[in-house]
Protein backbone atom coordinates (compact mmCIF):
# COMPACT_ATOMS: atom_id res chain seq x y z
CA UNK A 1 0.00 0.00 0.00
CA UNK A 2 1.13 3.50 -0.81
CA UNK A 3 0.37 6.28 1.67
CA UNK A 4 -0.45 9.59 -0.03
CA UNK A 5 -0.11 12.77 2.00
CA UNK A 6 -3.26 14.88 1.74
CA UNK A 7 -2.80 17.44 4.52
CA UNK A 8 0.27 18.66 6.36
CA UNK A 9 -1.05 17.62 9.78
CA UNK A 10 -4.16 16.29 11.56
CA UNK A 11 -4.97 19.87 12.61
CA UNK A 12 -4.73 21.03 9.00
CA UNK A 13 -7.31 18.37 8.05
CA UNK A 14 -9.63 19.49 10.87
CA UNK A 15 -9.34 23.11 9.73
CA UNK A 16 -10.04 22.38 6.07
CA UNK A 17 -12.88 19.83 6.34
CA UNK A 18 -15.81 20.88 8.48
CA UNK A 19 -17.72 18.33 10.61
CA UNK A 20 -20.54 16.71 8.65
CA UNK A 21 -19.09 17.63 5.29
CA UNK A 22 -17.57 15.84 2.32
CA UNK A 23 -14.73 16.77 0.01
CA UNK A 24 -13.79 15.38 -3.38
CA UNK A 25 -10.14 14.36 -3.63
CA UNK A 26 -8.45 13.25 -6.82
CA UNK A 27 -5.46 11.17 -5.82
CA UNK A 28 -3.42 9.34 -8.46
CA UNK A 29 -6.39 9.55 -10.88
CA UNK A 30 -8.74 8.07 -8.26
CA UNK A 31 -11.80 10.08 -7.23
CA UNK A 32 -12.23 9.76 -3.48
CA UNK A 33 -14.95 11.12 -1.22
CA UNK A 34 -13.39 12.24 2.06
CA UNK A 35 -15.98 12.67 4.80
CA UNK A 36 -15.77 13.98 8.33
CA UNK A 37 -18.04 12.94 11.21
CA UNK A 38 -17.16 14.80 14.41
CA UNK A 39 -13.35 14.43 14.47
CA UNK A 40 -13.26 11.16 12.50
CA UNK A 41 -12.49 10.94 8.80
CA UNK A 42 -13.55 8.31 6.26
CA UNK A 43 -12.53 7.83 2.66
CA UNK A 44 -14.64 5.94 0.12
CA UNK A 45 -14.82 5.81 -3.66
CA UNK A 46 -16.54 8.95 -4.92
CA UNK A 47 -18.49 7.18 -7.68
CA UNK A 48 -21.91 5.95 -6.56
CA UNK A 49 -22.19 2.25 -7.38
CA UNK A 50 -25.80 2.73 -8.53
CA UNK A 51 -25.35 5.09 -11.44
CA UNK A 52 -22.10 6.92 -10.98
CA UNK A 53 -23.02 10.21 -9.29
CA UNK A 54 -20.33 11.93 -7.25
CA UNK A 55 -20.91 11.08 -3.59
CA UNK A 56 -18.89 14.08 -2.45
CA UNK A 57 -21.91 16.12 -3.60
CA UNK A 58 -24.04 14.17 -1.13
CA UNK A 59 -24.91 14.76 2.50
CA UNK A 60 -23.91 12.82 5.59
CA UNK A 61 -26.87 11.70 7.66
CA UNK A 62 -27.12 11.25 11.43
CA UNK A 63 -26.15 7.56 11.33
CA UNK A 64 -22.89 8.01 9.46
CA UNK A 65 -24.01 7.32 5.91
CA UNK A 66 -23.32 9.41 2.85
CA UNK A 67 -26.51 9.86 0.86
CA UNK A 68 -26.20 10.01 -2.90
CA UNK A 69 -27.77 13.22 -4.22
CA UNK A 70 -29.19 11.53 -7.31
CA UNK A 71 -31.46 8.67 -6.15
CA UNK A 72 -30.81 8.69 -2.42
CA UNK A 73 -28.92 5.44 -2.00
CA UNK A 74 -27.13 5.40 1.36
CA UNK A 75 -23.59 4.14 1.93
CA UNK A 76 -22.03 3.44 5.32
CA UNK A 77 -18.87 5.50 5.50
CA UNK A 78 -17.05 3.00 7.74
CA UNK A 79 -17.59 -0.07 5.59
CA UNK A 80 -18.66 1.26 2.18
CA UNK A 81 -21.80 -0.93 2.32
CA UNK A 82 -24.93 0.25 0.58
CA UNK A 83 -27.34 0.20 3.50
CA UNK A 84 -30.34 -1.34 1.73
CA UNK A 85 -28.23 -3.79 -0.33
CA UNK A 86 -29.56 -2.41 -3.60
CA UNK A 87 -26.16 -1.71 -5.08
CA UNK A 88 -22.53 -2.80 -4.81
CA UNK A 89 -20.41 -1.72 -1.87
CA UNK A 90 -17.96 1.13 -2.28
CA UNK A 91 -14.23 0.73 -2.11
CA UNK A 92 -12.91 2.18 1.13
CA UNK A 93 -9.48 3.67 1.77
CA UNK A 94 -7.57 3.68 5.07
CA UNK A 95 -6.53 6.94 6.70
CA UNK A 96 -3.42 7.44 8.78
CA UNK A 97 -2.63 10.57 10.80
CA UNK A 98 0.46 11.44 12.78
CA UNK A 99 2.77 14.37 13.43
CA UNK A 100 4.10 14.12 9.86
CA UNK A 101 0.73 14.53 8.15
CA UNK A 102 -2.66 13.17 7.13
CA UNK A 103 -2.50 10.28 4.64
CA UNK A 104 -4.80 8.13 2.55
CA UNK A 105 -3.70 4.61 1.66
CA UNK A 106 -4.05 3.45 -1.95
User: Which parts of this chain interact with ligand FES (CB under 6 A)?
Assistant: 48, 50-53, 68, 70-71, 73
Maximum separation of any 2 CA atoms in the chain, in Å: 40
CB of 90 to ligand FES, least distance (A): 11
Q: Count the Cβ atoms, other than its own, within 10 Å of residue 19.
A: 11
Nearer to ligand FES, 6 or 55 (CB): 55
Min separation Cβ 50 and ligand FES, Å:
4
CA distance 86 to 81: 10
Minimum distance between the CB of residue 73 and ligand FES, rounded to whole angstroms?
4
Ramachandran angles phi, psi of 13, nearest 5° = -60, -45
Amino acid sequence: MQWIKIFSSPDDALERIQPGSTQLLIVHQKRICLARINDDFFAVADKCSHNGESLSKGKINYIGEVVCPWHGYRFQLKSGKESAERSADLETFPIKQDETGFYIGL
